[in-house]
Amino acid sequence: MKALVLHRQAPIGSHPLRLEERELRAPGPGEVAIAVSACGICHTDLHIVEGDLAPPRLPLVPGHQVVGRLAARPPGVTTPALGARVGVGWLAANCGRCEACRAGRENLCEAARFTGFHLDGGFAEQLVVPAVACHALPDALDDLHAAPLLCAGIIGYRALRLSGVERGGRLGLVGFGASAHLTLQVARHQGLQVAVISRREAQRRHALALGADWAGEFGAQPPWPLDGLINFTPAGGTVAPALALLRPGGVQALAGIHMSPITELPYRLLYGERALRSVANFTAQDARELLALAAAIPLRPDVQAYPLTDANEALADLAAGALRGAGVLELRGRDEILLTLTDGAGGA
């Protein structure tokens, strides 16, 4: 199979991902093999490639917003069915035994393993993951448009919930990329007023086109104090100014897995029972709820597609803020995958 492999972390401009031919790995106990049709790109992928996050091993295949069809499973794994369309997100496995797991907070499991970080991910024609990592996808969205739901959508949904903004409230979104453009649609569906803050004019126009009530650049003041705010940027310098936009008691949720150091934070900005909280991974319940909402709203991801061979270019565009919505690597269509399965790539 073809895969984009990271051997050494380096700036994305040096094209550190290398296209290689790899052996197909048979799934082991509790695992399944998935023939990949699409894989979204994410800032987390960029952080892994460039060295902001240190994966446990190299070489590594990144990618954790994966859509495909189940191609093989060993005896003892009964679901999903062979040929079923499934999605795989960032959280691939957890211990199931610790206090966090028993409380339904497996996103905080210290033994959690992540797709495209501990396990080879979806920048490849096939991947092997635990069967429990697979999620059923809404039929309303094709593979290309379903892929961004599996991290950008779910993380944005969890961040929205942790921001504490209730129906009729006022939400701020700082930064407007793949996750924010989906979160805005969920927030509008829930009856929230939404203000978007972005340094790029094109992203502000995009937000307004999707129904934002107001959009402005950094330093501009929304027309009303915010009940809660989600910060999607990896820039720690945005945290203090964003706190100043919150009403007393408001929450700023930090949605990224990586952020540069937070600059000096005057206590007066936090005073008034304002709160900062991080957003860590997601739970299976988050995934079920967001995917059901995606069909009900319905969510309409804006997608820019790239072939697998252009993964370096796609991540470079992400780094430059040149994407409108979400970038997705498109590998092959449904008919091509089903033909592959029919020809005998599937397992028991």
User: One-letter amino acid identity for 269?
Assistant: L
Residues 90 and 151 sit within 8 Å (Cβ to Cβ): yes
Q: What is the pLDDT of residues 21-39, one digit of tens each?
A: 999 889 999 999 999 999 9
Let me know if 40 is exposed, middle or buried by CB neighbors in 10 A (0-12, 13-18, 19+): buried
Name the residue with tokens 């008691």. 249
Is the predicted pLDDT of residue 335 greater than 60, yes or no? no
Across 145-159, average pLDDT: 97
pTM of the complete model: 0.92
pLDDT at residue 269 above 90? yes
Predicted confidence (pLDDT) per residue in 285-330, tens digit: 999 999 999 999 999 999 999 999 999 999 999 999 999 999 999 9
Mean local confidence (pLDDT), 173-177: 97
- Per-residue confidence (pLDDT) for residue 333, from 0 to 100: 56
Q: What percent of the chain has pLDDT over 70?
A: 95
List domains and CATH numbers for the chain.
Answer: 2-141+301-345 (3.90.180.10), 153-278 (3.40.50.720)
Query: Quick one: CA dihedral 305, 320, 153, 1, positive or negative?
Result: positive
Contact (CB, 8 A) for 138 and 300: no
Give the Cα separation of 290 and 293 in Å (integer).
5
d(C-alpha 196, C-alpha 191), whole Å: 16
| 92/343: higher pLDDT | 92
Asked whether residue 276 carries a pLDDT value surpassing 90, the answer given is yes
Q: What is the pLDDT of residues 100-142, one digit of tens each?
A: 999 999 999 999 999 999 999 999 999 999 999 999 998 889 9
Would you call 10 helix, strand, or coil by DSSP? coil
DSSP state of 142: -
Mean pLDDT of the 181-186 span: 98
